[in-house]
A and B are shown apart, each in its own frame.
Chain A
Amino acid sequence: MIEWVHPGLIFIIGALLIPFVRGEWKKAYLLLLPIAALIDLSMMSEGVFWRIPLLEYELVFGRVDTLSLIFGYIFAIAAFCMTLYALHVKEDGQHIAAFLYVGSTLGVVFAGDLFTLYLFWEVMAFSSLFLIWYRKTEASSEAGLRYIMVHIFGGVCLLAGIVLYVQETGSIAFPYPGAGFLWGLGSSYLASYFILTGFLVNAAALPLHAWLADAYPEATVTGTVFLSAFTTKSAIYVLLRGFPGVDILIWLGALTAIYGVVFAVMENDARRLLAYVLISQGGYMMAGVGMASKLAIDGAIAHASCCVLYMGLLFMGAGAVLEVTGRSKLTELGGLYRRMPATFWLYMVGALSVSGMPFFSGFVSKTLIVESAAGLPSPWVWLLLEGASLGAFLVAGLKLPYFTWFGRKEPAGDVYRPLPRNMPAAMGITASLCVLIGVYPQALYGMLPYPVEYHPYAVEHLISMWELLLFSFLGFILVTRMGLLRPVAKITLDTDWFYRIAGRRFIWFCERPLLDFADFIDKMVKGIASFLVWFSRNPTAASRIMLLTMGVVLTKPFNPVYMHYEADLAELRRLYPGEPVHRVAIGMGVLLVVMFFVLYLLIYLTYGVLWT
C-alpha cells in the first residue's frame, strides 16, 4: 500500500484546478501546493513505484532513491519560494504554466524508464514556453519561438536515441546511477550520442547554450525566476544518471563555465548577464558529472541544489528592478540604492553565494567540484573553474550591482511602480536558505549519496578564497577606473546567430533560387504537355504548320517565295485543328511506330555492348 502520491501529480492536477479557486483563497491555494508536495516527499520511501504496463514494456513513474529525492526536495523548495515571488500575478495562465512546468520536472526526476522521461521532458519544454510568451512583447514571442524550436530539436535527438537504445537493448529502463549508458567511440554507441545531445541541449552546454541567453531574459519577471531553476538542473540530474564519468563532459563543462562569464562581462541586459552566469554555473556541474569521483558527484548534486536557490534569488533581484523601473539594461539603470536598498542587500546574498564567498551557499558546494578538479592530471580544468568562479564574482557580484544600484548620482528612471510585497518576502526566504546552507553545510551534505569527507571551513580554504575574491575586487576597481567595464548599449552575437541569420539565408535560398528553379521545371513540363495536346488534335496539319513555320523562318532572308508560305501558314493556323487528313495520318502513324521499334531495337542490341 502506497500512502503518498507522485509529487509531480500534485502540481499538475493542482495547476488545472487554479481557475476554480477565487479571490484571496487563490494565493493560499498556490502556496499550499508546494508545501503539500514537500510533505508528500518527506513521506516517500525508496523503491520503485507506480509501474504501468504498456504493450510489452513497463512504464515506471516513481523510481525513488537518494538522487531523485534530493532533486525532488530542492525543486519543491524552489517552487515554494518562486510561487511566493509570483503570488501577485493576476493571470491564472502564468500560474498554470509554472505549475505544469514544475510538475513535469518532478516527473522527469522520478521517471524510471525512458518513455516516461521523454513524456515529461516534452511537457516541460512546452509549459515553460508559456512563461516566455506571457511577457506579450514582440521580442518575447520571437524568442519563445526560437526557444521551442531548439527544444524540439533536443527532444527529437532524445527520442531518436531512445528508439535506437530500445532497439539495441530491448529495454526501456533508464539506467541506475553508477551504471549509465554505454559510452565509447564508434557507431555502436549512436544511441548514447543522441541521448547525450538531447540532455546537453537542456543543460545549455557549449555550443548548444544560446537558447538560454536568448529566451530567458525575454520571459516575464516571474517566469524567468522559474525558468532559471528547473530545465538546466533537471538536465544535470539526467546527466548524473545517464553519463557519469564521460570524459568530454569535464572539458565541455570547464569551457562552458569560463565562456559564460566572459560573455556576461560583455552583456548589457541585467537578466541576460545573469543568464550567462547561469550557463557558466551549469558548466561546473557538467564537469563534476564528467569527473565522477565520489566527491565530484556529491559536488555536482550539492552545487545544483545551491544553484537553484541563488540563481533564483539573483533573477528575483533583477526582476524586482525590472518590475519597479521597467528597465533591465545596465546603461539605463544606476543609482537605485536610495530607492531599493533592501532589494540590493538581498540580491547581494545571492551574488556572494554564486561567487563562492565563505558562509554563503556557493562556497560549500562549488569547492567540492573545484577540489576534485585539482586532482586531475591536467591543471587546466582546475584553472578554468577557478577563473569562472572569480568571473562570476566579477559580473554578478560587482558589475551588475554596481551599475544597477550605484554608478550614477541620480536614480535612473522617472516612473516607479510599487514593488509587490510578496517579492521581497520571497527573496528574504531564498536568501536565508542560501545563508543557512553556507553556515551549516551539514544540512546539505547529509542528504548527498556519498558521505562528504571534505571540510570547506578549513583555515587554508578560507584564506585562499578571501585572497582570491579580495584581489579580483581590486582588479574590478582597476578596470572600472579605466572604463573597461562600463556597459555599452550593444548586443553580443552568440551561437544563436547561426539559426537566426544562417537559418534565414537558408529560407531565402529555398524561397528564391530553389523555387525559381522549380517554377522553371514546372513551366517546361506544362509547355510540353500543352504542345502535345495541340499537336494531337490534328497531327498532320500540326506537322505541316511546323514545317511551314520552319520554311518561313529559314527562307525569309533569301527567297521571296516565303510570302507564299506565309499566306499558307496563316490560312492553316486559322483553320486549325481543321479536318484531320487520314490518308497521311496512317502513313504518319506507321512511321512513328517504326521509329519507335528501331529505337527499341537499337537499345536492345547495344545493351551490354556499348553501355550497361
Chain B
Amino acid sequence: MDHLIELIPLPYTDAVVALGAAILGITAGVLGAFAVLRGRSLVGDALAHSALPGVAIAFIVTGAKDTGSLLVGAGVAGIVAALLMVGIEQTSRIRPDAAIGVVLSSFFSLGIVLLTYIADLNNASQAGLDTYLFGQAAGLLERDVALMGALSLASLVVVAVLFRPFKVTLFDPSFASSVGLRVRVLEITMTTLIVVAVIVGVRAVGAILMVALLIAPTVAARQLTGRLGRMLVLAGVIGAAVGVSGALVSMRAEVPTGPVIVLVAFGTVLLCLLLAPGRGVLWRAGKLRRDRRRARNEGVLVDLDTAVHAGPPPTERELAQLSGRPRREILRGLRDLHRTGMLERDGDRIFLSGAGAGAAHGVHERRHLWTLWLEHGAELDLPDAREPDPHDLRASLGDEHTERLFALGTWRPPSP
C-alpha cells in the first residue's frame, strides 16, 4: 500500500484520496454494469437506504460508533435487502422497480423507527449515525483505502472467474438455466457484488451518490462499445478517471468529494449520450439528415434521368408531376443536385450534366445489382452470413461475389 501511495506524484493525503477514488471508480464502474444491464439500476439506491437499519442495529448491538462494525451492519442489511428484492421479483408479479421501491421504503422506515429507539436510550454518541448518507473522501485514511482495495480486488476476482456464466445469465437467463447454470444463485451473486460496491463507496462519497456512480460508467461505456468484456473494462476505466478527476478537483476547490465526482460522472455520460459515434443522439441526428438528403437526391436524380430519357428536358413542374413526389422534395433535391454540379439549366428546362448522368448511371447500377441479389442471392454460396447493404452491395459483398452476381443475372436456363 505504502509503495503504491508513494508512486503517486501528489502530497500524501491527496494521494490517499486519489487512490481511494480510483479504487471506488473501478469497483463501481465494473460492478454497476451488473445492475444496469439487468434493468435494475436502482438496486444501489435500495441498498443505500437499507444500510440505515443495518447501521442502527450494529450500533444497538455494539453500543459504539466504530466504523468497522457499522460497515458490517450495513453490509449484512444490504445482503438481506438484496435477497428480499430478488425474492419478491421471482415469486410474484411485482416488477423490479417496484420490488426495489418496496424494500427501500420498508428498510428505511425500519431504520427511522430504530433511530428513535436509540434516541430513547439517551446515548449521546448516537448523533450522526445517518451521516453515512453523505460521506467525505477528504477524511479517508490509508487504512480505509486498504480495506476498500481488498474488497474491490475480491469482487473483481469474482467477476473475472464468473465472467462467462454472468454473461450468459445477463443475455438469456432461460438459456442459462437450460445449460445447467444456477441462475438464481448467479443473480444473487451479482446483487451481492453491488452490495460490496456500495460498501466500498459509502465512506468516500456517501450512499446516495453511489447510485449515480454505479450507473454512469456503464451507461457511458455502453455508448462506446457493444461487447460485454470491453464494456466492463471501459466502465472500470471511466469510473476510475471520473473518480480521480473529481477527487482532485474537489480537493483544489475545497468542496465535498462525492458531489464533484457525481458532476464529472454525469458530464461524461452526457457527452457520451450526445456524441458517441454510432449511438450518440447528435451523431444519429446528423446521420439521419445525411441519409435523408441522400435518399431524396438520389430519387430526384433518377426521376430526372427517367424524364430526360423519355422526352424533352422537363421543367420543375413537369418533373414534379412525373415523379409523384411532393413538390418541395423535388425543389430541394434539384437545389442540392445543382450545387454539386449534376444539373444544367436552360431557362426552365433541366438537363443532367455529364457528372449527373454518371451518377444516375451509378444509382441505376446499384439498383440493378440489388434486384439481381434478390433474384440470385441464394445461389451465391457466400462463405459467411454477411448481410448485403442495399445502398452499396459491392462493398458489402466484395468484388468477386458482385461479379458472380452479374454473371448469374445474364445466365438463363437453357430451354429443353
Is B truly associated with A? no
Residues of A within 8 A of B (CB): none
Residues of B within 8 A of A (CB): none
